[in-house]
Amino acid sequence: MVAPSFITVAKLFQVAWVTKSGSTDLDVHIAIRPTSETVMYPYYSKWIRGHRDLPLKLNQWCNVVRWEFSHPTPFIRSREFLWQEGHTAFATKVEADEEVLEILELYRRIYEEYLEIPVIKGKKSELEKFAGGLYTTSVEAFIPNTGRGIQGATSHCLGQNFAKMFEINFENEKGEKQMVWQNSWAYSTRTIGVLVMVHGDDNGLVLPPKVASVQVVVIPVPYKDADTQAIFDACSETVNTLSKAGFRVEADFRDNYSPGWKYSHWEMKGVPLRIEIGPKDLVNSQVRIVRRDNSAKTDIPMAKLTEKVKEMLDDVQQSLFDAAKQKRDACIKVVKTWDEFMEALNQKKMILAPWCDEEEVEKDVKARTKGEMGAAKTLCSPFDQPELPEGTLCFASGKPAKKWTYWGRSY
């Protein structure tokens, strides 16, 4: 919690205030931290004196609170959330600009190489950028089932706005006094919500192997009059073999649940692979492997277990991305006119349209599309810009278009 004397940027957020202790009114109200600039930057001004103190790079995990909306959504949009936030200071804008893109690429890798969620890297509009910053970049995901975009993570260049506010100055190599250039960047537990919505199905979670706490679950399937102990021993041996090979694996030996109940239980938890071992598998020196992502069943010789499990986990990982990208791409609609835009919006599409890049036009689009489902807004202007033919007009204003921008409803 931070005292009001530090909330010089409180107008940027709907700050939650503590006004009472029990039944006693506080003489000095306390603001619950909405972000950490106002907590950290007074110390940056003390720590940074000369050019040898730069760059200064700090990262932390913490909870923050923002009272910005009336209808919270678990993980996706909650008033209190856990996030990672980095705060850095540099001597030059060039260094700051380079780091903005380096961090954004790290966020892309988290989403696309670990969570297997396709994202679009781009720049936020002036209306949608972090209000205290110079410019904001983001990775944008899309939820096909709901037809809404979602901001996956952001990397901001703060410019010298906060340096001026908090007097964060340094002496350069020539002995001249200068202000630092700053960045901030963050992603939060919202990431979990995106993962659930993009990959999950009616049976529960579907987790990519790289991030699954349990990659393989081994379930004994003893029939009546079967040698139960031999089946249990084979399950234990399977767990040991895979564990030694570096896989995260568990066995479910609970005797108060049927194999079918266990299948549903571990499917709901999203475990990528399920290994079943029954009497016939013992006789044939094999196991049956069932994939969570597509329910495919394959009988594997015990002698090739480690090799085949690795192959299947790798395939599950890639298949999740391919399926998610195919669904996302099917929802992208390129439009050039207002009528095409509205048709695509009503179809819950992610819309790529030529735009004049004017704030008043964006506000007008929001006003004209406001309804029960929420208004459309810019998601980002992708760094990978399609060709913009000369004479292309803005879909909303009819003015000359300056760029292609993604639009849609969002969380």
Pair 253, 397 in one domain: no
Pair 129, 69 in one domain: yes
Q: Which CATH number does the domain housing residue 366 bear? A: 3.30.110.30
pLDDT digits (tens, 9 = 90+) for 332-352: 999 999 999 999 999 999 999
Pair 175, 125 in one domain: yes
Pair 296, 368 in one domain: no
Look at 272 and 33; give whichever has higher pLDDT: 272
Please give the tally of structural domains in the chain: 3
Pair 324, 340 in one domain: no
What pLDDT is stored for residue 15 in this prediction?
A: 83
Give the range of the structural domain holding residue 111, as residue numbers without chain letter.
Answer: 12-199
pLDDT value at 252 more than 80: yes
CA 267 vs CA 58, 270, 292: distances in Å: 39, 5, 6
What pLDDT is stored for residue 16 in this prediction?
A: 85
What pLDDT is stored for residue 11 in this prediction?
A: 54
pLDDT digits (tens, 9 = 90+) for 143-168: 999 999 999 999 999 999 999 999 99
Last residue of a domain, one of 309, 328, 347: 328
- Tell me, yes or no, whether 204 lies in a domain: no
Under a CB-based contact definition with an 8 Å cutoff, are residues 279 and 231 in contact?
yes
pLDDT value at 76 more than 90: no
Quick one: pLDDT band at residue 5, thresholds 50, 70, 90?
very low
pLDDT value at 174 more than 60: yes
**Mean pLDDT calculated for residue range 256-269:** 97
Last residue of a domain, one of 328, 351, 368: 328
- Tell me, yes or no, whether 3 lies in a domain: no
- Tell me, yes or no, whether 209 lies in a domain: no
Pair 95, 161 in one domain: yes
- Tell me, yes or no, whether 1 lies in a domain: no
Pair 195, 69 in one domain: yes
Last residue of a domain, one of 144, 171, 199: 199
Q: Which CATH number does the domain housing residue 67 bear? A: 3.30.930.10
pLDDT value at 192 more than 60: yes
pLDDT digits (tens, 9 = 90+) for 273-298: 999 999 999 999 999 999 999 999 99
pLDDT value at 77 more than 80: yes
pLDDT digits (tens, 9 = 90+) for 38-69: 889 999 999 999 999 999 999 999 999 988 77
Rounded to the nearest integer, the mean pLDDT of the chain is 94
Pair 296, 378 in one domain: no
Q: Which CATH number does the domain housing residue 294 bear? A: 3.40.50.800
Pair 347, 386 in one domain: yes
pLDDT value at 79 more than 90: no
